[in-house]
Amino acid sequence: MVLLHTLRQEVESSSQFHLADSELSNGPVSASPTLCRLLPQLRQYSSWLLSNLVSLLSQTDEHVLVYQEEMWHAYVRCLNSLKKLGNAKIVDLAYLLEEDQDTIGFTAFSESVRKWRFMAADGLVKPASTEEGITRSKPEDEMLYRIQSLLRDGIRLCRDSVSPCPLAIVFPNVL
């Protein structure tokens, strides 16, 4: 939860990071070093949450349930803060981000999460960003992709849950 709180505080206090109208203004989209370090980690955390949702929601221990409620609230506040950054162009990357390259074989991720994170539209594993012939996007676009991935995760949690959705995300019509 510390990471979620830290990301939320960073987004809400950052005046330099704003995605809305970035494409129109042709100005650089920049993120603080803290945000650049947190987003990859939170994508992995979010992947784990998606992969373990059924198990998490089936917990009955009162202490675990109290902690979970706090965690879900922090997760939702974090996603809502990210959404407030604004609507920017939709970014899709044809290669794996570093954090995805590091966890591609991580078996704690469900098959559906591995598909969303690691596979291209043709069903093949995306190439590593370091492979020969791969042209990387701008770092700002990679950060935007990470943000959009987190927002999509929130939508998946609400749409695809086999149990009642634990989230009350307030943003409409996203991605």
pLDDT reported for residue 19: 52
Task: State the pLDDT at residue 15.
Answer: 53
Q: How far apart are CA 155 and CA 69, in angstroms?
A: 18
Can you tell me the distance from the alpha carbon of 25 to that of 5, in angstroms, rounded to the nearest whole number?
30
Q: What is the DSSP letter of 162?
A: S
DSSP strands (E only) in the chain: none
Q: Write out the chain's pLDDT in tens, 175 residues.
A: 788 888 888 887 865 555 544 443 344 456 788 888 999 999 999 998 888 888 888 888 999 889 888 888 888 888 888 887 656 678 889 999 999 998 888 778 888 888 888 999 899 999 999 999 999 999 888 988 999 999 898 888 877 655 555 555 554 444 4
Q: What is the pLDDT of residue 14?
A: 67
Instruction: Find, among 68, 65, 91, the residue nearest to 150 by Cα.
Output: 91
Q: Quick one: tokens of 113?
A: 């999460």
Res 3: pLDDT: 84
**d(C-alpha 96, C-alpha 55), whole Å:** 28
